[in-house]
């Protein structure tokens, strides 16, 4: 069996995968460990414990992490993780567990998860876009996950969609992620003059609830977000010709608030030769499963 590990900013999810099923799972905190070594110790112990519980033999480990570089097996200065330096976690876990360990970036893991187990099954030209705190994406072309020299090819988050637009966390202006992400949507709501008290709670849920209650600025926030995302996706289609685009993450899972206006705009923005040839669908995997299955799928690349 394969251990699939999904490292997030606050919690790390861990599952054992046999065939296409998760046969055991647990989670632990990502934060609160003194250094990467103690984190690796705790993670290896959690893997061993889960293998003992389930009963079976561990063959390999796959890890999906923010800023994971599949070539080096390191997490490279991830802004949302507690460690600033590069962390060679693949070799650290491999040594502790005595099995091969592959580490890749979380957006690629999500893409693989959808391709192997989810809404992208059987589609060899596939774009999977993760909408969350940021915007990540992974691209499968001709039946192969694109990696590039740094392991992060196929990323749309920092493509510029608005010239001289909003400041982005990368230091530039107008990136897609500055508009289409939780942070971006909260900024849009603010710019549209939405009531500040709606934003007292974190995340995108308060805007979703306001939109469901018919609040104009919230509905407009979803429409504007759909507009920017449509530009990003139709550019991606012109450039890489996926046959299917899978949207993954909390922002996408809100009924038709985003998907409705997005589908409408997307058909208008698509190059005419691709009209009707690109499906736009939501992930079919439960959110907790996707990261685990995707990380496990990194092993069999």
- Contacting positions for Zn ion (CB under 5 A): 158, 168, 170, 175
Q: Shortest distance, CB of residue 172 to Zn ion, whole angstroms? A: 5
Q: Choose between 62 and 132: whose C-beta lies nearer to Zn ion.
A: 132
Q: Choose between 2 and 176: whose C-beta lies nearer to Zn ion.
A: 176
Q: Choose between 180 and 226: whose C-beta lies nearer to Zn ion.
A: 180
Q: Shortest distance, CB of residue 267 to Zn ion, whole angstroms? A: 27
CA distance 85 to 232: 31
Q: Is 40 helix (H, G, I), strand (E, B) or coil?
A: helix
Q: Shortest distance, CB of residue 180 to Zn ion, whole angstroms? A: 12
Q: Shortest distance, CB of residue 235 to Zn ion, whole angstroms? A: 15
Pairing of strands 101-105, 60-65: parallel
Q: Shortest distance, CB of residue 174 to Zn ion, whole angstroms? A: 8
Q: Choose between 30 and 130: whose C-beta lies nearer to Zn ion.
A: 130
CB 38 within 8 A of CB 96: no
CA distance 142 to 221: 36
Q: Choose between 96 and 158: whose C-beta lies nearer to Zn ion.
A: 158
CB 62 within 8 A of CB 295: yes
Q: What is the dihedral of CA 254, 160, 107, 223, to 10 degrees?
A: 10
CB 292 within 8 A of CB 22: yes
Q: Shortest distance, CB of residue 169 to Zn ion, whole angstroms? A: 6
Q: Choose between 170 and 301: whose C-beta lies nearer to Zn ion.
A: 170
Q: Shortest distance, CB of residue 100 to Zn ion, whole angstroms? A: 34
Residues sharing a CB contact under 8 Å with residue 252, sequence separation 6 or more, in sequence order:
131, 258, 259, 282, 283
Strands (E), 30-173: 60-65, 68-69, 74-75, 101-105, 126-131, 135-141, 144-145
Cα angle value 234/155/269 (rounded, 5°): 5
Q: Choose between 171 and 276: whose C-beta lies nearer to Zn ion.
A: 171
């Amino acid at each position: 069996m394969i251990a699939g590990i999904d490292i997030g900013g606050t919690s790390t999810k861990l599952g054992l995968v046999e065939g296409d099923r998760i046969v055991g799972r647990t989670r632990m905190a990502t934060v609160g460990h003194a250094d990467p070594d103690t984190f690796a110790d705790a993670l290896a112990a959690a893997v061993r414990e889960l293998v003992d519980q389930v009963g079976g033999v561990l063959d390999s480990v796959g890890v999906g992490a923010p800023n994971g570089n599949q070539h080096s097996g390191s997490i490279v200065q991830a802004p949302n993780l507690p460690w600033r330096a590069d962390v060679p976690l693949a070799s650290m876990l491999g040594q502790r567990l005595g099995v091969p360990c592959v580490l890749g970036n979380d957006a690629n893991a999500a893409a693989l998860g959808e391709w192997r187990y989810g809404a992208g099954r059987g589609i060899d030209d596939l774009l999977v876009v993760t909408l969350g705190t940021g915007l990540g994406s992974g691209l499968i072309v001709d039946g192969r996950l694109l990696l590039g020299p740094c392991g992060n090819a196929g990323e749309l988050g920092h493509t510029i969609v608005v010239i001289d637009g909003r400041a982005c966390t990368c230091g530039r202006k107008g990136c897609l992620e500055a508009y289409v992400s939780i942070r971006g949507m909260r900024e849009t709501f603010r710019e549209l003059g939405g009531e500040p008290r709606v934003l007292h709670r974190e995340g995108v849920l308060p805007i979703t609830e306001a939109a469901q209650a018919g609040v104009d600025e919230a509905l407009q926030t979803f429409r504007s977000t759909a507009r920017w995302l449509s530009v990003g996706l139709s550019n991606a289609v012109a450039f890489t010709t996926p046959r299917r685009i899978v949207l993954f993450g909390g922002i996408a899972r809100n009924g038709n608030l985003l998907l409705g206006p997005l589908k409408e705009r997307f058909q208008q923005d698509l190059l005419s030769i691709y009209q009707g040839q690109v499906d736009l669908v939501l992930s079919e995997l439960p959110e907790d499963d996707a990261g685990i299955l995707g990380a496990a799928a990194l092993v069999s690349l």
